[in-house]
Amino acid sequence: MNRRLFLQTLPFVAFGQDLIVRQRDPENLEFPFTSLDSYVTPNDRFYIRSHFKTPELDLASYKLRVEGAVEKPFEITLDEIKRLAQRKVTATLECAGNTRALLNPPASGVQWELGAVSNAEWSGVPLGALLEKAGLKSNAVEVVLEGADKGEPKNDPKPVGEIAFARSISIEKARRPEVLLAHGMNGSDLALSHGAPLRTVVPGYYGMSSIKWLTKVRVVTERFQGYFQTIDYAYWDRTNGYPLRQPLLDMRVKSLIAQPAKNQQIKAGSTVTLRGAAWTGEADISKVEISSDGGKTWGQARFLDKANRFAWRRWEFDWKAPSQPGRQFLMSRATDSKGAVQALQHDRDTAGYVIHHVIPVEINVL
């Protein structure tokens, strides 16, 4: 709540030194990734992604509704949710549009650089527990998660008027123990900008599935075809040849270099430690490699964190700068336990999303 009030009194500039403001209304603020120095991102540096104006929910009357293809639809208060069996999950959330600002040609949308990604320990109740309480009907196919945030979508083809932000996940995913309805973040109550009083956290999926200000869980019997599932946050899947419009779901394997930062000056011949993080979808990060010769040769980075499904893994690599001055391009490339490797080029079928190719960081050796 404090964050929200604080923001309202701030000019449209960087949010102190904690967050980079990409957009003030709706709130879109970026974790300054080059300052990465902890496994869990502190709450006041965790990136904020909002599609519409932050809704003002009355905590006293707040209820979550579980409805649709269920035997016993019900409403539940936050206190009642807090009395159910609690669970903690550490999960990295990345906005599907992270690093969009680095695309060439440019793509429209919030111009995120490196930091629309953060890692936190979430606490709450598994979504599956509420679905079990409601009793899924046999024809249930997906669970639609709907937030209290409403507004007019931006891009054609779009429905007329305002809609709530809503996405769906499969019944199978919804039942996984790590999919949480979270009210806590890194040991504190969830802040309003992060979705208080209750948000979904869907580990392994891009952030758009982790609906903030959750008010409705609707079980449906057909695949959900809402705007944010078909027009926005979707891509062209060519798995079966003919391109098919499919919703973005799983995060793709990705690594970013935090230090040195772009344009940083490095002394010729010195050894510097490259630092960064790597993450993926429903797999573990198994390898991060570094190249400073455009991808001809790669050296293996060491991990700072153990593999922890759904959380990023920080890494380090000692790099010896050339003895001659000049521009250098540092590249990191991650591999996951399913064998997925970062590509060298962006896939145009995902347009301004899923930007997970190797992104070179240009530095200056002096």
**d(C-alpha 13, C-alpha 161), whole Å:** 31
Residues numbered 331-360 forming contacts with its own copies, rule: CB under 8 A: 348-349, 351
Nearer to its own copies, 346 or 356 (CB): 346
CB 125 within 8 Å of CB 180: yes
Cα dihedral 171→176→177→183 (10° resolution): -60
Residue 97, both tokens: 């549009």
Q: Which of 166, 174, 180, 214 binds its own copies (CB under 8 A)?
A: 166
Among 206, 213, 224, 315, binds its own copies (CB under 8 A): 224
Whether the CB-CB separation of 206 and 248 falls below 8 Å is answered with yes
User: Cβ closer to its own copies: 168 or 328?
Assistant: 168
By CB under 8 A, tell whether 107 contacts its own copies: no
Residues 194-223, one symbol each (x = binds its own copies by CB under 8 A, - = not), give -----------------------------x
Question: Residue 121 burial (CB < 10 Å; 0-12/13-18/19+)?
Answer: middle
As a whole number of angstroms, the distance between CA 140 and CA 229 comes to: 18
Does residue 339 sit in helix, strand or coil?
A: coil
**Smallest distance from its own copies to CB 127, Å:** 19
- Report whether 180 contacts 204 (CB < 8 A): no
Q: Which residues pair with 48 in a beta bridge?
A: 29
Nearer to its own copies, 142 or 282 (CB): 142
Please pick, from the candidates 243, 269, 322, 326, the single residue that binds its own copies as defined by CB under 8 A: 243
Cα 284–234–239 angle (5° rounding)? 70
164, 201, 253, 266: which one contacts its own copies (CB under 8 A)?
Answer: 164
Contact map string, positions 138 to 157, toward its own copies, x by CB under 8 A: ------x-x--------xxx
Which residues of this chain interact with its own copies, rule CB under 8 A? 144, 146, 155-157, 159-160, 163-164, 166, 223-227, 230-231, 234, 236, 238, 242-246, 348-349, 351
